């Protein structure tokens, strides 16, 4: 009996999360169809989906595996550039838009997942803050390398250069893929809000189902107590790597979505750098570590707040900073905690109930 109850509890919780996404989608889609949406908001829809996927996937590393990652944008960057190159190369070959885009997304996920696996190897030897710094370093390396290299392709094969386009030495029919700091131009604009939402749902299915499987439990047991997990036969290495790679692969999906929404894709600090990684981490932390629904809400709200505050343009990032600090202090300061406990309604009711039970 209890078992059924406990199962239905998680299932119910997950159902609320799915329902929330679908309802939000329905509302926004209706607004789009009836033209009741500003062009600013309309342009924000795909990035919003990207951020939601990033936040959910980072929560797998931070909340479920319990390791701090400051390089999530790096994996996104890998997914964005690899999928974008794929689309450029195949735009004349695969003419069915959705099929090409699906393949591009899968490729982005695989490439990012592969990088996640590779970065994951040192991760196994490191703990806590050292891990954070390695992921941060990785993110910066990816951004930096993409900004520095020129890649082109012609019949002779792939050409690389660190100087400029001409030094690639391409033949006349050659195609320049990455133009250093000017990035990739001409990626087909395949991303739509609908696809974004579908990808969010797929991400949710992967993460939520994973959490309720033996793999997810193994990952969470490592988070809660590594030594105990090992003592009951959990292969720490395997599950850490797996969690890391899945998280990275999903960030790659987000990257593919992001890349196919832009005509020019550049690896600027603001979209793929450490600032972006931090922003995603902020979504996860403010949404509640390990709380998937919270990540979604935080990603949406915290992306919209600065946009809605555009009239206060100069002050919006400042307010964002203050919100971060105040939220953290209000959540964790012992003094404020005490105040909250004393005056919270829920506690008051519980205390009464408890008093009755004792009597």
How many residues belong to the site for another protein (CB under 8 A)?
82
Instruction: For residue 186, state whether it binds another protein (rule: CB under 8 A).
Output: no
Instruction: For residue 313, state whether it binds another protein (rule: CB under 8 A).
Output: no
Spatial distance between the Cα atoms of 196 and 328, rounded to a whole number of angstroms: 31
Q: Which is nearer to another protein, 33 or 232 (CB)?
A: 232
Closest Cα partner for 250 from 205, 188, 312, 306?
205
Spatial distance between the Cα atoms of 85 and 201, rounded to a whole number of angstroms: 25
Nearest approach, Cβ of 219 to another protein (angstroms)? 10
Site string for another protein, 264-283 (x = CB under 8 A): ----------x---x--xx-
Secondary element (H or E) of residue 86? helix 72-90
**Whether 123 contacts 240, CB under 8 Å:** yes
Nearest approach, Cβ of 229 to another protein (angstroms)? 7
Q: Which is nearer to another protein, 50 or 69 (CB)?
A: 69
Binding segment toward another protein, per CB under 8 A, in 44-52, 103-111, 321-329, 348-356: 321-329
Q: Which residues contact 218 (CB under 8 A, 6 or more apart)?
A: 229, 234, 235, 239
Spatial distance between the Cα atoms of 259 and 251, rounded to a whole number of angstroms: 12
Spatial distance between the Cα atoms of 1 and 132, rounded to a whole number of angstroms: 43
Binding to another protein, residues 27-66 (CB under 8 A): 62
Spatial distance between the Cα atoms of 57 and 182, rounded to a whole number of angstroms: 28
Among 215, 288, 291, 306, binds another protein (CB under 8 A): 215
Spatial distance between the Cα atoms of 70 and 141, rounded to a whole number of angstroms: 13
Binding segment toward another protein, per CB under 8 A, in 82-90, 94-102, 192-200, 205-213: 205-213
Instruction: For residue 198, state whether it binds another protein (rule: CB under 8 A).
Output: no
Q: Which is nearer to another protein, 84 or 147 (CB)?
A: 147
Among 95, 166, 334, 359, binds another protein (CB under 8 A): 334
Instruction: For residue 339, state whether it binds another protein (rule: CB under 8 A).
Output: no
Q: Which is nearer to another protein, 28 or 285 (CB)?
A: 285
Binding to another protein, residues 87-116 (CB under 8 A): none
Give the helix ranges, DSSP H, for 150-235: 193-211, 214-224, 226-231
Instruction: For residue 216, state whether it binds another protein (rule: CB under 8 A).
Output: yes
SS3 184: strand
Among 91, 133, 165, 309, binds another protein (CB under 8 A): 133
Instruction: For residue 292, state whether it binds another protein (rule: CB under 8 A).
Output: no
**Tokens in use for 223?**
């988070």
Instruction: For residue 305, state whether it binds another protein (rule: CB under 8 A).
Output: no
**Whether 179 contacts 150, CB under 8 Å:** yes
Instruction: For residue 68, state whether it binds another protein (rule: CB under 8 A).
Output: yes
């Amino acid at each position: 009996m209890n078992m059924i109850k406990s199962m239905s509890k998680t299932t119910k919780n997950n159902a609320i999360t799915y329902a929330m996404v679908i309802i939000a989608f329905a509302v926004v889609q209706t607004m789009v169809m009836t033209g009741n949406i500003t062009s600013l908001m309309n342009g924000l829809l795909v990035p919003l989906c990207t951020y939601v996927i990033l936040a959910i996937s980072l929560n797998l590393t931070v909340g479920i595996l319990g390791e701090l990652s400051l390089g999530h944008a790096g994996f996104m960057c890998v997914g964005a550039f690899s999928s974008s190159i794929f689309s450029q190369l195949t735009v004349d070959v695969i003419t069915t838009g959705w099929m090409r885009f699906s393949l591009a997304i899968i490729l982005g996920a695989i490439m990012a997942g592969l990088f996640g696996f590779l970065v994951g190897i040192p991760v196994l030897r490191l703990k806590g803050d050292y891990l954070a710094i390695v992921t941060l370093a990785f993110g910066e390396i990816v951004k930096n390398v993409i900004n520095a290299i020129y890649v082109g392709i012609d019949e002779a094969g792939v050409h690389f250069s660190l100087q400029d386009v001409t030094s690639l030495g391409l033949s006349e029919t050659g195609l320049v893929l990455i133009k250093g700091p000017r990035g990739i131009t001409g990626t087909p604009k395949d991303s739509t809000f609908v696809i974004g939402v579908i990808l969010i749902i797929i991400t949710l299915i992967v993460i939520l189902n994973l959490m309720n499987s033996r793999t997810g439990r193994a990952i969470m047991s490592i988070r809660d107590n590594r030594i105990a997990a090992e003592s009951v036969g959990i292969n720490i290495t395997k599950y850490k790597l797996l969690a890391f790679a899945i998280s990275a692969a999903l960030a790659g999906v987000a990257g593919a979505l992001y890349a196919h929404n832009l005509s020019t894709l550049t690896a600027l600090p603001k979209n793929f750098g450490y600032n972006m990684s931090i922003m995603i981490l902020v979504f996860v932390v403010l949404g509640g570590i390990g709380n998937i629904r919270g990540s979604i809400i935080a990603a949406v709200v915290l992306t919209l707040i600065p946009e809605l505050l555009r009239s206060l343009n100069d002050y919006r990032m400042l307010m964002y900073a203050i919100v971060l600090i105040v939220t953290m202090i209000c959540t964790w300061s012992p003094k404020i905690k005490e105040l909250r406990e004393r005056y919270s309604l829920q506690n008051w009711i519980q205390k009464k109930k408890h008093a009755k039970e004792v009597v």
